[in-house]
Amino acid sequence: MIQFEIGKYLQEHKGVKYNLSNSGMSDIIDLSEYFKNVRLVSKEELKKEIAEINGDKAENVVITHGATEAFFLTAYYLRSKGFKKAEFPLPEYELIRKVPAALEMEIGDGEIYMLSNPNNPTGQLMELKPGFKAYIVDETFMEFYRDLDKSSYPEDTYRINSLSKLYGGDELKVGYIIAPNREDAERIDLLRGIITNKVSRYNISIAYMVLKDSEHIKKTVREIQKRNFEVLVNEKEDLEFYKGKTPVLGTTSFMSYSKYAEIDSEELAKKLVQKSILVVPAYYFGVTGPYIRVCYSAENFEEGYKELKKALKEIAS
């Protein structure tokens, strides 16, 4: 049975003092003001706003309940068109790794290449592997690093995004797909209507207001994350970034603790939870080795980062 294991893991341990597993800005950005005195707008108005931010056409946009639904729906659509093989890089977010299995697709070259960009967990900018018929790119973390209209992908690329990370919209279930063309977008939207309910007009209207204020929100978030990012890079001591490559600005990093301990990442994560520190072990991203995902979005990140290194030294001794 296919399960979303990382979600269960994070839920079980969410009461820790130092949550270095939270990859979004929901604890930092307060969206409550956008819920007040909402002016209802149409789906078409939101699609125009999304298209403008992404440098694309409104006719190519499909509104969803979030990036998870958007990704699965896109993969399901491509499966219905006859694509039977998918590939993804490793490490990679659990959802992306498990969608092919859920759709009974083989892992193989040449048909669909799917990934997060920047990568979750490494936070590193990714290059698309050439030679595929279609690409699905989850850009949930891209706006931390650069504006979405700066992205450039092959012609048959489906771009996925959500308001849950940069905009702190965990409670605002709105995401979207940008299809390669109007025909694909219309077919996906028809399929969406069969699989799930439409996004409420109330949520659409709040999302519209949030995106209308996107420049202000991006500026605020990037300033916060730049400060945390500097701490992450400059005070990592014996922690090392995955393959020695520094991530781009975002909220996630994948760090090696090999200079501290030789135990596997799941055992290490359990020991850290006992010290009220929550990170995500490598297992949940499809790889083995001395790696943990360390997120730097928490309000008490700097303190938590110090506690993490202190705990690693204690475990090593």
Q: Give the whole-angstrom CA distance, residue 212 versus residue 203.
A: 14
Cα end-to-end distance, the chain, whole Å:
40
CA angle 141, 203, 98 (to 5 degrees): 45
pLDDT digits (tens, 9 = 90+) for 72-131: 999 999 999 999 999 999 999 999 999 999 999 999 888 999 999 999 999 999 999 999
The answer, as to whether pTM is greater than 0.85, is yes
10-residue stretch averages of pLDDT, the chain, 317 residues long: 80 90 91 89 97 98 96 97 96 96 91 98 96 97 98 96 94 95 97 91 96 96 98 97 98 98 95 97 96 97 98 91
Query: Which of left, alpha, beta for 263 (phi over 0: left; psi -120 to 50: alpha)?
Result: beta
pLDDT of residue 1: 63
Give the residue ranges of DSSP H helices in 115-200: 142-145, 182-195
pLDDT of residue 108: 84
pLDDT of residue 284: 96
Bridge partner residues of 18 (DSSP): 277
pLDDT of residue 224: 97
Domains defined along the chain, listed by start: 5-27+215-316 (3.90.1150.10), 32-213 (3.40.640.10)
pLDDT of residue 37: 79
Q: Report the candidate in 76, 101, 81 with the shortest Cα–Cα distance to residue 196.
A: 76
Pairing mode of beta strands 175-178, 157-162:
antiparallel
* Strand spans (E) along the chain: 18-19, 61-64, 85-87, 106-107, 112-116, 134-138, 157-162, 175-178, 240-241, 252-256, 277-278, 280-281, 291-295
Q: Report the candidate in 161, 209, 192, 174 with the shortest Cα–Cα distance to residue 41.
A: 209
